[in-house]
Amino acid sequence: MSQQLILNRRDLDFMMYEWLDAEALTSHPRFSDHSRETFDAVMDLSAQIANDLFANHNRKNDLNEPTFDGEKVQVIPEVKTAIDAFNEAGLVAAAQDYEYGGMQLPALVEKACMAWFKAANVGSSAYPFLTMANANLLLAHGSKAQIETWVKPMFEGRFFGTMCLSEPQAGSSLADIRTRAEPQGDGTYRLHGNKMWISAGDHELSENIVHLVLAKVPGSPPGVKGISLFIVPRWLVNEDGTRGERNDVALAGLNHKMGYRGTTNTLLNFGEGKFQPGGQGGAVGYCVGEVNKGLACMFHMMNEARVGVGMGAVVLGYTGYLHAVEYAKERFQGRRLTDKDPQSPPVRLIDHTDVKRMLLAQKSYVEGGLALVLYCARLLDEKRGAGVCDEDDADVLMDLLTPIVKSWPSQWCLAANDLAIQVHGGYGYTRDYQVEQFYRDNRLNPIHEGTHGIQGLDLLGRRVRQHGGAGMQALQRRLQMTTAKAAQRSDTAEFAASLDAIWFRLQDVTQLLLRNPNAEESLSDATLYLEAFGHVVVAWIWLDQYLACPENSDDAFYLGKRQACQYFFRRELSQVDAWLDLLGDGDRTCLDMSEGWF
């Protein structure tokens, strides 16, 4: 795969510098050592490593899944080569403080760099991605000793990290987990239970694997209020930092998914007695934060992972789109509708209007999605005080947008992958072309880190109400800053009026739903609400991008941006009214469906 088919560097540069003004971040003391030159240098390095060492085995990863011989998990050797290069480049700690060996890069730059690896090989990139999120949780909630013991080796690339939430019988319902953590006399705990769907849960790619495990201490309150969080390493660590005994964490088996096949996905048994640390069974664990406050800690990693899932969904859609454009430009098939001569030469696929429609839809989804994720990365920098708005404003807006940034790309950039297959025609679902793999990989993202439906419940049931509605107010201020500018221009006034109108309608429907005391009724179509909300947010993001393009420029890049924005407003945003009709009318079609009618 050539670098040009992984991501569009011109588009990344536009979003980072012309739209989000990454250079302005260097005025913040944390980023003062940086400049556009340093940002570009790490971007160039990321693109090169992604192209040379990650993309080169993406297909091989898919065709040669990890295997378990009863003792060890084996992955193809290219995975370790790639991840070692990632670690040696210092990218695991790229956004961290200098004291942790980091570069103190802005989140905006770090996420843009990570986009290259996810687009090049989503399977192999999952290992460092999970490690980074694990380490960030422990930085926020772990003790100094825990940071020293577990986080620093992760930043050095020696230890990898996971998150262990789901259980076979409970799935996404964390209130029903059964893994128990029994306190010991020395301040440690012994864990017993099973965890399912654990990505990167077992391998030989690192010295150690640091599992973050949700469990319940005996006597704790029922439900989510009784959940605690524990560090449960694969190998215990001695006082001098060397590797100690094997902990009682055993691989029960590998799950075989339709996509992400390069990432080991596991069922792990904790405390089954296969290993005997300290001469007894039970997996040794160390509590993170307070007992019974574990879910609040875990949300730190979950929310970061949700942004990461959104990015992964975006770039899988994006690389599929780039492949579809290339194919449409090279493939000759059919003739123009006005050409009735069967002996005339065929035209390229891209000359057919319906193919242009499919490509334009993909462009609107993937460029809109990438802009959304990078905007949220910019909010993370603003939360540090590196922005024009106050930190509290960025904080509440990030809270509000988290379900959107996870779920909107997971739905619509998957739709882009579907269209990329369609552009390829019959070749699209063969293994001769990569677009079928991109679709399979991306199909996992609507389930990863909370399903589409769970994100809708989170958005409508919790986040729009959070902080007294401050997130909605912050979004409105920023959205109306954009529409006010757009209303002053003849080429965007139509878009500004449409966006203002649909935003206020969305607010009215939101208030109507929130006033309904019957949660089952008000939340019955939370998924539809999520989709409507996401389309409004992405329309705003598109309009803001349009305004960042130089006026009257005839450069093809900017013309393409404007055309994609127009497509989104006229073909996509126009659907939101129908969705809001259903929500506002309290449609009960799904709610009233009886089990026996299926």
Query: Inter-axis angle of helices 435-442 and 391-424, to 10 degrees?
Result: 140
- What are the residues whose beta carbons fall under 8 Å from the beta carbon of 521, sequence distance 6 or more? 586, 588, 591
C-alpha 539/C-alpha 371 separation (Å) is 11
Identify the CA nearest to 155 among candidates 95, 105, 106: 95
Give the C-alpha separation, 175 to 295, whole Å: 10
Which amino acid appears at position 506 of this protein?
L
* 8 Å CB contact between 536 and 520: no
Could you give the count of Cα atoms lying within 13 Å of 439 in the half-sphere of its Cβ? 19
Catalytic center residues: 449
Helix extents (H) in 228-293: none
Q: Can you say how many angstroms the Cα of residue 159 is from the centroid of all Cα atoms in its chain? A: 22
Residue with token string 């690389």: 319
Q: Give me 75's structure tokens.
A: 């992955």
Q: Which of 330, 335, 328 is nearest to 425 (CA)?
A: 328
Alpha helices in 425-553 (DSSP H): 435-442, 452-458, 466-487, 493-515, 519-522, 526-548
Question: At 549, is the secondary structure helix, strand, or coil?
Answer: coil
Residue 97, Cβ neighbours under 10 Å: how many? 13
Query: Which contiguous run of DSSP H or E holds residue 237?
Result: strand 235-237
Nearest 5°: CA angle at 350, between 347 and 354?
A: 105
Q: Which of 272, 279, 292 is nearest to 192 (CA)?
A: 272
Q: What is the DSSP string of 180-200?
A: EEEE-TTS-EEEEEEEEEEET
Residue 267: strand, helix, or coil? strand
Using CB atoms within 10 Å of the CB of residue 257, give its burial: 0 to 12 exposed, 13 to 18 middle, 19+ buried: middle
| SS3 state at 360 | helix
The full 3-state SS of 13-77, as one line of letters, equals: HHHHHHHCCHHHHHHCHHHCCCCHHHHHHHHHHHHHHHHHHHHHHHHHHHHCCCEECCCCEECCH
